[in-house]
């Protein structure tokens, strides 16, 4: 968290606790004063009765005392129950407020990180492609080097396109404005296609695929491709380049299952649900070494929801993570 934000959060937390303690003390003081008043009233009334009915053994005296005693007890019960109700309401409200303020600060911080990350990720491919094109324009390079520069620029454009797709589609899905279609698809071919593109992009990376033939699915092909490609990109990004990435497509009685596994850094149990939140990235700016926007898995979750599928992450046997998308049977 940035220093400025952390200071702001600390200040808000201190103000919050001071106010809360003040309100609770005021409530206790209020309850104590009322009870004190109740007792004073009882004493005054008792003295008044004793003045009027001098015979303290008479039935009238006893009845009058019993009446004010009952009144005093009723008041005590009323003050205690009102006090407890107020206390519970104040504590529930305070917890709610505290959590929503912290959530707001976290979201604000994540949005700032996102803007920084996107600015950086948008500028890098453009600068690299521009530099490559300028080099091609100014120098007479041999065909080999020309090809290398063109290939480099193309890769940067693919990265840029993926990033722009993620940003656009996430805001469209969030606002319910994405014109998603539902068509009969050959899911096996679709996944094979994305895996082929992955192999072209990372020729040195080992991608092991076990894709059952002719698995059919109803859905939106662009969204499903984005889902598979985001999971593969993450598997590539968060694991050592020498370890294999695995992609499985299976169909059984419980429906179609897509699994992407890696042998990378893995995801701690406490973060396994949070990684699907918008802008959420594990760690902080100091400890994070990979580039990213925190949108990839958020989109995967949205796409899974759109297809009435579930998405979850578990530890991969041995090392790393396994992402599973389970589509319901047709
Ligand atoms: P991004 O990769 O752009 O940061 P994502 O939404 O794709 O955003 O992922 C959110 C976070 O989840 C990542 O920042 C990373 O910390 C964690 N994560 C995602 N995929 C993996 C993975 N395969 N292995 C380990 N951590 C992962």
160-213 residue pLDDT tens: 888 888 888 888 888 888 887 899 999 999 999 999 999 988 999 999 999 999
105: pLDDT strictly greater than 70: yes
Q: How far is the CA of 297 from the centre of ligand 1 (A)?
A: 7
What value does the mean pLDDT of the chain take? 91
Q: How far is the CA of 185 from the centre of ligand 1 (A)?
A: 28
Mean local confidence (pLDDT), 91-113: 87
Tokens at 11, concatenated: 């200040």
The pLDDT of residue 262 is 97
Sheet of 310-315, strands arranged across? 207-211, 245-252, 255-261, 321-327, 310-315
Q: How far is the CA of 75 from the centre of ligand 1 (A)?
A: 59
Residue list, ligand 1 pocket, CB within 6 Å: 234-235, 238, 262, 264-267, 275, 280-282, 292-298, 321
3-state secondary structure of 21: helix
Q: How far is the CA of 11 from the centre of ligand 1 (A)?
A: 31
Give the range among 140-144, 224-228, 272-276 with minimum mean pLDDT: 140-144
Mean local confidence (pLDDT), 239-255: 96
pLDDT-based confidence at residue 330 (cuts at 50, 70, 90): confident
264 CA: nearest ligand 1 atom: 24
**End-to-end CA separation in angstroms for the chain:** 45
Tokens at 58, concatenated: 């008479």
Q: How far is the CA of 239 from the centre of ligand 1 (A)?
A: 11
Closest residue (by CA) to atom 14 of ligand 1? Answer: 281
285: pLDDT strictly greater than 70: no
Instruction: Establish how many alpha carbons lie within 13 A of residue 131's alpha carbon, considering only the half-sphere containing its beta carbon.
Output: 9
Any bridge partners for residue 248, and if so which? 210, 259
Closest residue (by CA) to atom 21 of ligand 1? Answer: 234
8: pLDDT strictly greater than 90: no
Mean local confidence (pLDDT), 118-133: 89
290: pLDDT strictly greater than 80: no
Closest residue (by CA) to atom 23 of ligand 1? Answer: 235
């Amino acid at each position: 968290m940035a220093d400025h934000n952390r200071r702001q959060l600390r200040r808000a937390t201190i103000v919050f606790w001071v106010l809360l303690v003040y309100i609770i003390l005021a409530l206790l003081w209020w309850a104590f004063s009322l009870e004190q008043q109740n007792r004073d009233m009882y004493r005054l009334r008792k003295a008044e009765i004793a003045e009027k009915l001098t015979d303290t053994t008479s039935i009238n005296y006893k009845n009058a005392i019993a009446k004010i005693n009952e009144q005093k007890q009723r008041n005590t019960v009323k003050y205690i129950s009102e006090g407890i109700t107020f206390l519970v309401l104040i504590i529930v409200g305070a917890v709610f407020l505290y959590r929503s303020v912290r959530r707001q600060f976290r979201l604000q911080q994540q949005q700032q990180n996102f803007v920084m990350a996107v600015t950086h990720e948008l500028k890098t491919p453009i600068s690299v492609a521009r530099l490559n094109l300028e080099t091609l324009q100014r120098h007479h390079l041999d065909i080999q080097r020309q090809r290398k520069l063109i290939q480099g620029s193309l890769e940067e454009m693919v990265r840029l396109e993926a990033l722009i797709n993620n940003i656009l589609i996430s805001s469209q899905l969030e606002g319910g404005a994405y014109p998603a279609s539902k068509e009969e698809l050959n899911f096996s071919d679709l996944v094979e296609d994305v895996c082929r593109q992955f192999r072209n992009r990372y020729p040195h990376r080992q991608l092991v695929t076990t894709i059952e033939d002719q698995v059919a699915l109803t859905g939106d092909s662009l969204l499903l491709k984005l889902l598979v490609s985001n999971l593969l990109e993450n598997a590539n990004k968060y694991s050592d380049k020498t370890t294999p990435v695995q992609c499985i497509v299976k169909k059984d009685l419980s429906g179609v299952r897509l699994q992407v596994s890696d042998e990378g850094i893995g995801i701690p149990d406490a973060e396994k649900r949070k990684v699907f939140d918008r802008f959420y990235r594990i760690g902080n700016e100091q400890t994070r070494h990979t580039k990213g926007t925190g949108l990839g898995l958020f989109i995967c979750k949205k796409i899974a929801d759109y297809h009435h599928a579930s998405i979850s992450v578990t530890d991969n046997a041995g090392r790393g993570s396994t992402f599973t998308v389970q589509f319901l049977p047709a």
